[in-house]
Amino acid sequence: MALKKISNCLISVFYKTDLDKIVGLLKKNDVQIYATGGTLDFIKKIDDSVRSVESLTGYPSILGGRVKTLHPKVFGGILARLDNETDIQEMQKYEIPAFDLVIVDLYPFEETVRNTDDKAQIIEKIDIGGISLIRAGAKNFNDCLIVPSSAHYQEFMEMYERQNGCTSIEDRMRFAKYAFQTSSHYDTAIFNWFDGKSGENQASTLRYGENPHQQAVFNGNLDDVFEKLHGKDLSYNNLLDLDAGLNLIREFEEPTFAILKHNNPCGIASRSNILDAYNAALAGDPVSAFGGVMVSNQPIDIQTATEMNKMFFEVCVAPDYDEGVLDILFTKKNRIVLKLKSNKFPSKIYKSALNGILEQDRDLHVETAADFKPVTEKLVENQNDIDDLIFANKIVKHSRSNAIVLAKNKQLYASGIGQTSRVDSLRQAIAKADSFNFDLKGAVLASDAFFPFDDCVTIANEAGIKSIIQPGGSVRDQDSIDACNKFGIAMVFTGFRHFKH
């Protein structure tokens, strides 16, 4: 694989987040950087050898910054074909440097449309020079690598370090593809605004997919779901956690706080007030809560916000925030704070599979005490136990299969999730509860599907579980029923399985 050394770089970005890291790498490899305006001022603090675009073109930024890079000495350096003798001669004649790398982060047009109706502000956020740089760099991928947005910074830095400051033709073609995706999305957003469709269902490019090397797009209108109050752009993983969290939290009416990690609740509790609910949810797994997504079905008050601010979390969503709360939550510049508008979602869900798309009804069934079918000699008669079974069953419905949930006093003690064996899920849950010093004596157990054997009942009894809720439906249900009768455990069937994959 032939590698090409980067010697000259042009940088023109709106947001400067992580730009210092890139500049540090380029400086380390003796790359000559050219920049404009605010980008130039930012880079000067890191690399005093940076040159202004004006020093290259001989023209200042004009028309209030509308024209900065639109000049033959800039675009000639990007579009020059280095295997073309005529191009080389013209570059030498006009003293044009060849740009091996162009880094752009466009004016935030879509963000501006979301935040204002001021037509003049919106028009000024239509990037002209930046989009031209992107297209030029992508067209000449043979000789130039274009980084078209901050969403691609991480991939670029990893590649650049791995290849000691060089790029391959495969790298340049890949980033050219990203560039045309970025420009296509940007122009579509502008068209939609002119066409009066800016609020309709449209595609939004995300920072990246599940991993930095994967590209991702959200097709939909997030403004219908929540108002973004603060923080960085939402990622693919943020959206998956929010989808899981909002679908879970809408099952509860009393004050409830949930903490999500990798689409699963690692902490959730219902209490008489949201502060107590948060503290109980956090106690369920304070380790996994780090970097999680916080979801509340009640407004966040000052006391709750103060406690939340003691730890790192990525996203918070709530129906509202009391006066002074946002001042606390905004102290972390990247923390995403959302105000919920609606958690009513389509009744169908879709998932790609093989060479097509699967469609199914959303699992909207919520079991109540009326759905309980007692199957054991011991009955669930205590209202607290009934409430705990309903609470645990709601959580297991929203946990990855195979799933087991252990709960007590409307607090998630522990869950075992995503295991290929239901016994392993139960053992995982018990071990986790023990690690946080929860006493499982008198706790309840919920299973998303039936017990194929009586081993789960035996293990649950050894841990102190006194009540079980599960769908039933196994040809060996009687084995589990007999085991419950032997150990004095109450068990109810619901008739509804809640697999989630």
**Would you please indicate which residues are annotated as catalytic (active-site) residues?**
139, 262
Nearest to 369 by CA among 457, 494, 482, 465: 494
Kind of pairing between the strands at 373-374 and 348-353:
unpaired
The residue assigned the tokens 């987040």 is 17
Nearest to 469 by CA among 384, 406, 383: 406
Report residue 24 as tokens: 């540090």
Contacts of 118 (CB under 8 A, 6+ apart): none
Strands (E), 221-297: 226-230, 256-261, 264-270, 293-296
Where helices occur in 80-168 by DSSP H, the ranges are 85-93, 109-115, 119-124, 129-139, 153-162
Question: What gap in Å lies between CA 321 and CA 185, rounded to an integer?
Answer: 33
Question: What gap in Å lies between CA 248 and CA 244, rounded to an integer?
Answer: 6
C-beta of residue 96 within 8 angstroms of C-beta of residue 77 = yes
Kind of pairing between the strands at 444-447 and 467-470:
parallel
Provide the β-strand partners of residue 491: 468
CB atoms within 10 A of CB 36: 21
Report residue 71 as tokens: 């000049």
3-state secondary structure of 30: coil
Amino acid in position 452 = P
Contacts of 363 (CB under 8 A, 6+ apart): 397, 498, 500
Question: What gap in Å lies between CA 237 and CA 211, rounded to an integer?
Answer: 9
C-beta of residue 304 within 8 angstroms of C-beta of residue 229 = no
Kind of pairing between the strands at 8-13 and 264-270:
unpaired
Question: What gap in Å lies between CA 149 and CA 309, rounded to an integer?
Answer: 31
Nearest to 150 by CA among 173, 134, 136, 172: 134
Question: What gap in Å lies between CA 232 and CA 153, rounded to an integer?
Answer: 15
Question: What gap in Å lies between CA 319 and CA 305, rounded to an integer?
Answer: 14
